[in-house]
Amino acid sequence: MATICFINQKGGCGKSSTCFHLAGAFAQQGLRVLLVDADPQGSLSQGFFGSQRVENLPLVETVAAAFDESSSWCDATSAVRPTAWPAISLLPGNQHLAQFNVPSPERLGMEQFALREFLQPLSGFDLTLIDCPPNLYRCSWSALLAADYVVIPVPPEDFGAQGLRVVHQAIEQAELLHPSLQLLGHLVTRLDRRLIVHRTYERRLRQIYDDTVLATAIPEASAFKVSLACRQPVGLYSPRATAARLTRDLSREILDRITVRIGEAATA
Ligand SMILES: Nc1ncnc2c1ncn2[C@@H]1O[C@H](COP(=O)(O)OP(=O)(O)OP(=O)(O)O)[C@@H](O)[C@H]1O
Ligand SMILES: [Mg+2]
């Protein structure tokens, strides 16, 4: 089982969308996927269950139970719920998480590992994808400490290099506490190749970060929005769409990278 968190403090860069659609692609390859919605906005959960149902979930039926001392009796197994696809399960997140998403989480001592410990008893999944909020507070920090790998979705308009630098710093800090954490890659998202500015940004990103940038880039495409509105990952909703093909390509590239990393670790 490998756990990947999707992190960037930039809002709207496609973190939730990538988790949602990738889950479908992994499921189509026969993998059992657990999605963890570590964002108080609950976008990923709403993608599967709609906003009202997600907002009505009590704290103990969400990932917030990981952080809530008075819910220490609660185990993750009971909070994980099935989706319409047998291979995809979801540990939902909603507004209950907001109270725990405090800044400066590195001052919290062992509580920093609360999410990691909460997820530990879960078994029967090949991959866990953790969706993070658009900040580097406690939820994202806990996700880093719970993950084996990090993917940074990067929209090709994020010219504030400072933004990425802060994300890299957070990963480096997390590695001090959790040395096996690895950057799996930067993922170019929401790319519109018709725009020179997007193509230029993508080229620069690849020059600067070299092969840490995943070869597959996710385009801006209405198929992602339409299938999300129909609560279905794009590969399951319209498998022939370019968006679906590229999501499958991305899922394979991620699996290949994980296989290489595992091989490197075994021979080290
Ligand atoms: N590749 C894409 N093509 C078209 N629309 C997209 C794409 N990626 C994301 N979107 C849309 O853009 C919006 C923001 O995407 P998403 O919620 O995935 O971003 P996010 O990084 O999770 O945002 P936040 O930081 O608020 O959590 C959503 O409406 C989503 O459907
Ligand atoms: Mg999101």
User: What's the mean per-residue pLDDT of the chain?
Assistant: 95
* Position 226, amino acid: V
Secondary element (H or E) of residue 36: strand 33-37
Buried b (16+ CB within 10 A) or exposed e, 1-16: ebbbbbbbbbeebbbb
CA 236, 241, 243, 244 dihedral sign is: positive
216 in Cβ contact with 246 (< 8 Å): yes
- What is the tens place of the pLDDT at every residue in 126-146? 999 999 999 999 999 999 999
Residue nearest to ligand 1 atom 23, measured at CA: 12
- What is the tens place of the pLDDT at every residue in 32-58? 999 999 999 999 999 999 999 999 999
Q: Which structural domains are found in the chain, ordered by start?
A: 2-267 (3.40.50.300)
Q: Look at residue 71 in the predicted model and tell me its pLDDT.
A: 84
Residue nearest to ligand 1 atom 3, measured at CA: 220
Mean pLDDT of 214-230: 98
- What is the tens place of the pLDDT at every residue in 92-122? 999 999 999 999 888 888 889 999 999 999 9
Residue nearest to ligand 1 atom 10, measured at CA: 14
- Nearest Cα to Cα of residue 115 among 186, 185, 62, 172: 62
Q: CB within 6 Å of ligand 1 — which residues?
A: 11-17, 39, 41, 43, 133-134, 189-190, 218, 220-221, 224-225, 228
Instruction: Select from 8, 10, 16 the residue to mutate for testing ligand 1; criterion: most ligand atoms less than 8 Å from CB.
Output: 16
Predicted TM-score (pTM) of this structure: 0.97
Q: Look at residue 163 in the predicted model and tell me its pLDDT.
A: 81
163 in Cβ contact with 70 (< 8 Å): no
